[in-house]
């Protein structure tokens, strides 16, 4: 799957944000954006730092009308156990987003993000309200991802959709964009070099 493709599945078994288990949890936000982030396994090492970082920034995503869900090849029972385990004992506590289970590895296989050991790479996807992939990044297992960068991508997509202007390198919310024309690029670069 690539940018511009529709995300191949919109529901999976999950432990919801309330801790309930659902066999067919619809995770795509049809009124806003969806961030789906994959991690290798529950009860591991880099993974809890990422899950807790997403949880600490969950309100910022919610304020941007963005639903966050995590996904791994673990079962919902493993997810629930990890949620019940305090952070001080190797758990993640009661994170405020759903944890999807791709135990059959169907979704991970469709996305091409399984490694040779059958676990997923650290893949992150930003979906628009139609479930179309607008941003994706895939990290190798030892490389933790930047949650702030995903927030920046949500802001950039919202800016583009609202203003029709593109976002240059390093763009941050509150900055101006530029027209996707030669004249727009020239004007932007001229203004930037004068600053």
Catalytic annotation, residues: 47
What is the Cα–Cα distance from 109 to 24, expressed in whole angstroms? Answer: 19
For tokens 């990890």, the residue is: 82
Identify the burial level of 1 via C-beta atoms within 10 angstroms of its C-beta, where 0-12 means exposed, 13-18 middle and 19 or more buried: middle
Helix (H) or strand (E) holding 24: strand 21-26
Q: In terms of Cα–Cα distance, which of 132, 135, 139, 133 is closest to 113?
A: 139
Q: Is 118 left (phi over 0), alpha (psi -120 to 50) or beta?
A: left
CA distance 60 to 172: 15
């Amino acid at each position: 799957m690539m940018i511009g493709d529709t995300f191949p599945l919109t529901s999976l078994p999950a432990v919801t944000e309330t801790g309930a288990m659902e066999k067919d949890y619809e995770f795509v936000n049809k009124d806003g954006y969806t961030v789906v982030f994959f991690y290798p396994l529950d009860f591991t090492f880099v993974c809890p730092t990422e899950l807790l970082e997403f949880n600490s920034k969950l309100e910022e995503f919610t304020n941007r009308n963005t639903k966050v869900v995590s996904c791994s090849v673990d079962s919902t029972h493993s997810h629930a156990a990890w949620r019940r385990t305090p952070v001080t004992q190797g758990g993640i506590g009661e994170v405020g987003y759903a944890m999807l289970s791709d135990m059959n590895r169907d979704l991970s296989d469709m996305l091409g993000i399984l490694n040779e050991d059958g676990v997923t790479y650290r893949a992150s996807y930003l979906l628009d309200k139609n479930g179309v992939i607008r941003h994706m990044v895939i990290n190798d297992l030892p490389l933790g991802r930047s949650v702030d960068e995903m927030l920046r991508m949500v802001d950039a997509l919202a800016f583009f959709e609202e203003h029709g202007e593109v976002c240059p390198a390093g763009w941050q919310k509150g900055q101006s964009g530029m027209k996707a024309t030669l004249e727009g690029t020239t004007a932007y670069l001229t203004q930037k070099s004068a600053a």
